């Protein structure tokens, strides 16, 4: 089943959000408009807006209000991608040139700032100080995570806790904030708000681990960027940490540096794939997925709960 089929009852609302996203980044400035639209049109799964809407379904769902929250969360995500591409010096994302590649680092920095700012602006249209607070707290944590990620690069003596802390900030917090904000805006009852929040966190952890596995097992075509790119950039992910428990593999991994040849990198990747690291990582992802499903088991049955369940499973099992 395709992802889109899982929330087909919300299709017209998702289209509204897509239009709202485009309208929101229509700056007067040509550079800003073009760079933002370029980013938007490169696509993406729109997971964060979907989580906002689905969480909102458990309360007083009003698309005109909640769509602003959904757009806001997607924009935060987009802004962080733009700045990440500057840090990671990435030229490709989803098979498209990045803003820093098509323009330059300076344009990318300010485009990211602008999208950040628009995100906060559109959220401030909703009269829900609690939602503003969640958004603001989340952005702070995401920023701290980004600095952490720079610090941890090529740090081969880090442990699994460092990794979990990093992906929590990098991915899980924004997805859990999406569910929570959706719930707040729709006045979902307190107990369910907390469960939706927790659910988003577990799904985010499961999702990011899969993402990190795919960087090893995916093809360049599937990933929209060369495989092994994370490792080459010094991002030590879960499969790497598991594989390094083998001393022979460890000795290979610690030779990784930005300038190494494709062939050398391929050898390191192969040695990682030859361990049980991929399978163990997938098991951890599964564990988070199961926690996610357990967390929402008490929520009222219906379309929204089915959709959340199916999406969580899809994200935890996806091939690219």
The residues that touch its own copies, with contacts defined as CB under 8 A, are 27-29, 31-32, 83, 86-87, 105-107, 109-114, 116-118, 120-121, 123-125, 127-129, 132-133, 135-137, 139-140, 142-144, 146-148, 150-151
Distance CA 73, CA 193 (A): 17
What angle is formed at CA 70 by the lines to CA 67 and CA 71, rounded to 5 degrees?
90
CB of 119 to its own copies, least distance (A): 9
79, two tokens? 């802004």
- Nearest approach, Cβ of 158 to its own copies (angstroms)? 15
Shortest distance, CB of residue 188 to its own copies, whole angstroms? Answer: 20
**Of 82 and 311, which CB lies nearer to its own copies in the complex structure?**
82
Cβ 112 to its own copies, closest distance in Å? 8
Cα distance from N-terminal residue to C-terminal residue, the chain: 14
Q: How would DSSP label each residue in 195-237?
A: HHHHHHHHHHHHHHHHHHHHHHHS-HHHHTS-TTHHHHTT---
Task: Kindly state the smallest distance separating residue 118's Cβ from its own copies, in Å.
Answer: 6
DSSP state of 185: H
- C-beta of residue 210 within 8 angstroms of C-beta of residue 316: yes
Q: How far apart are CA 315 and CA 6, in angstroms?
A: 12
Q: Of 29 and 60, which CB lies nearer to its own copies in the complex structure?
A: 29
Distances (CA, A) of 165 to 86, 128, 170, 194: 22, 29, 9, 21
- In this complex, which beta carbon is closest to its own copies, that of residue 152 or of residue 264? 152
**CA distances (Å), 16 to each of 19, 124, 174, 185, in order?**
5, 19, 21, 17
Smallest separation, CB 143 to its own copies (Å): 4
Element (H, E) at 122: helix 105-124
Phi-psi map region of 155: left, alpha, beta (phi>0 left; psi -120 to 50 alpha): beta
Nearer to its own copies, 151 or 318 (CB): 151
Of 48 and 252, which CB lies nearer to its own copies in the complex structure?
48
Question: What is the nearest approach in angstroms of its own copies to the Cβ of residue 258?
Answer: 14
In a 13 Å sphere around the CA of 84, the CA atoms on its Cβ side amount to 20
Q: Which is nearer to its own copies, 89 or 276 (CB)?
A: 89
Nearer of residues 88 and 215 to its own copies, judged by Cβ: 88
């Amino acid at each position: 089943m395709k992802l889109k089929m899982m929330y087909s009852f919300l299709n017209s609302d998702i289209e509204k959000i897509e239009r709202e996203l485009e309208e929101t980044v229509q700056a007067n400035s040509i550079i800003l408009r073009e760079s933002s639209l370029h980013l938007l049109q490169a696509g993406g799964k729109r997971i964060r807006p979907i989580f906002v809407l689905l969480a909102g379904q458990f309360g007083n769902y009003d698309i005109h209000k909640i769509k602003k929250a959904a757009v806001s969360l997607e924009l935060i995500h987009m802004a962080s991608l733009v700045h990440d591409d500057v840090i990671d010096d990435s030229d490709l994302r989803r098979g498209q040139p990045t803003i820093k590649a098509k323009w330059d680092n300076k344009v990318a920095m300010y485009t990211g700032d602008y999208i950040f700012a628009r995100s906060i602006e559109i959220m401030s249209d909703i009269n829900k100080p609690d939602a503003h607070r969640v958004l603001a707290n989340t952005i702070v944590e995401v920023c701290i995570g980004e600095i952490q990620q720079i610090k941890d690069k090529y740090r081969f003596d880090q442990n699994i806790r460092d990794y979990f802390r990093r992906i929590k900030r990098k991915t899980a917090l924004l997805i859990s904030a999406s569910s929570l904000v959706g719930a707040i805006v729709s006045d979902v009852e307190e107990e369910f708000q907390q469960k939706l929040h927790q659910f988003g966190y577990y799904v985010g952890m499961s999702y990011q681990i899969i993402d990190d596995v795919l960087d090893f097992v995916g093809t360049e075509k599937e990933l929209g960027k060369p495989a092994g790119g994370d490792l080459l950039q010094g991002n030590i992910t879960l499969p790497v940490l598991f594989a390094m428990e083998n001393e022979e593999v460890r000795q290979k991994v610690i030779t990784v540096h930005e300038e190494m040849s494709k062939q050398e990198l391929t050898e390191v990747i192969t040695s990682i794939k030859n361990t049980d690291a991929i399978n163990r990582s997938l098991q951890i992802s599964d564990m988070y997925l199961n926690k996610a499903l357990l967390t929402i088991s008490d929520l009222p049955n219906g379309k929204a709960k089915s959709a959340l369940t199916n999406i969580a499973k899809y994200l935890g099992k996806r091939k690219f």
